[in-house]
Amino acid sequence: MPLIVVALVLLAMFAAIALIPVSLVVRYRTGTMRRPSRRWVSTLNVVMLTVSALFFLTVAAMTNVWVPRAFVYAMAGLGTGAVLGVIGLVSTRWETGSRTLHFTPNRWLVLVLTMVIAARVTYGFWRSWHAWRAPVEGTSWLVASGAAGSLAAGAVVIGYYLTYSIGVRRRTIVHAARKQ
């Protein structure tokens, strides 16, 4: 019986790893879809992403105790993501109808963000494989795993979507005011 459980756990792990490319393609396709701009959706996005960013920075500050410069990397990633978010807002295609506002994010920028995620996942697998040797070499496995770089890559994505959501919300409010 325990052998079957171990086999099922290993199968589930390999299935999750095998589905990563599929999830990246789905992420790209949904990230480049034309969407209607709804005020309540953009407000919810801003609130939830703000909570996520605050929680993320709190965890990065706590991680800084064990991983040198983790908080600095997280802040740098958040700033980079904010700059990319502004670039994304400028390069977004906005379609103003009589009653609705639609937007289509820039495909190239969404592709770059998706590739950042893919590169970080790939690097994480590679680095964690090599981090097993870290205790032998006298360093912490957490430092050797590249946790600070992972925080930076995650912060880029959070910073981008937070800035982008704020811009979409602002544009939605301006469009609604003009409509009245």
* 19 and 52 together in one domain: no
* Sign of the dihedral defined by the CA atoms of residues 157, 158, 163, 168, in that order: positive
Please, how many CA atoms are within 13 Å of residue 45, restricted to the half-sphere of its CB?
Answer: 20
Specify whether 1 is located in the same domain as 45.
no
Same domain flag for 95 and 120: yes
Residues 102 and 143 in one domain: yes
Domain that includes residue 40, residue range: 34-179
Least confident of 8-17, 65-74, 125-134: 125-134
Say if residue 14's pLDDT is above 90: no
Question: For 64-74, what is the mean pLDDT?
Answer: 88
**Does 5 share its domain with 66?**
no
**55 lies in the same domain as 125:** yes
Does 14 share its domain with 57? no
Domain count, the chain: 2
pLDDT at 18 over 90: no
C-alpha closest to that of 105 among 171, 20, 179: 171
Domain match, 113 and 175 both? yes
pLDDT, residue 137, reads 58
Residue with tokens 């410069």: 69
| DSSP bridge partners of 102 | 36, 95
Q: What's the pTM value of the predicted model, to 2 decimals?
A: 0.81
Co-location of 116 and 49 in the same domain:
yes
Query: How far is CA 99 from each of CA 38, 94, 102, rounded to the nearest angstrom?
Result: 11, 14, 10
Are residues 19 and 73 both part of a single domain?
Answer: no
| Rounded percentage of the chain residues whose pLDDT exceeds 90 | 41
Indicate if 99 and 153 belong to the same structural domain: yes
The residue with greater pLDDT, 135 or 120, is 120
Confidence of residue 20 (pLDDT cuts 50, 70, 90): confident
Least confident of 5-14, 90-99, 146-155, 170-179: 146-155
What pLDDT digit, counting tens, does each position of 78-91 carry?
Answer: 999 999 999 999 99
Residues 102 and 21 in one domain: no
